[in-house]
Structure 1
């Protein structure tokens, strides 16, 4: 199931990114199969790496708090 971001709850951002990373192959396949979505939603390897880095940063914040 997809986790949606909630502007007033920053930890939901971490949960959403973690879920996307867990489902990255399925997300890539789903976006690639829909030509109308490819240009807007297809993430490069660099963008996936950035999300992983961001998830790690947010995870540290969860531990601290």
Structure 2
């Protein structure tokens, strides 16, 4: 299931990107099977950038949850 970003919860951005990376093959298959969406499909470079961003947000998520429950 896809996770949507929530503006007031920045950790949801991490969750959304992490889930998209997990579902990458399914997302690419669906996007490229739809004529009207082929032009907006993510490139290999886009997916790589999302992986880097996810790794950065993972550290922030860990720190935020550690502080929250300390």
Structure 2: where are the runs of 5+ without partners? 65-70
**Structure of greater Rg:** 2
RMSD between aligned alpha carbons? 0.6
Residue 12 of structure 2 aligns with which residue? 12
Whether 1:62 aligns to 2:64 is: no
Give the length in aligned residue pairs: 64
Q: What displacement does 1:64 show?
A: 1.6
Residue 33 of structure 1 aligns with which residue? 33
Residue 43 of structure 1 aligns with which residue? 42
What do the CA deviations read for 1:43-62 (whole angstroms, capped 9, x no partner)? 00000000000000000001
In the alignment, the residues of structure 2 paired with residue 15 and residue 60 of structure 1 have an alpha-carbon distance, to the nearest angstrom, of 13
State the 4+ residue runs in structure 1 displaced beyond 3 angstroms: none
TM-score normalised by structure 1 residue count: 0.95
Q: What displacement does 1:63 show?
A: 1.5
Structure 1: where are the runs of 5+ without partners? none
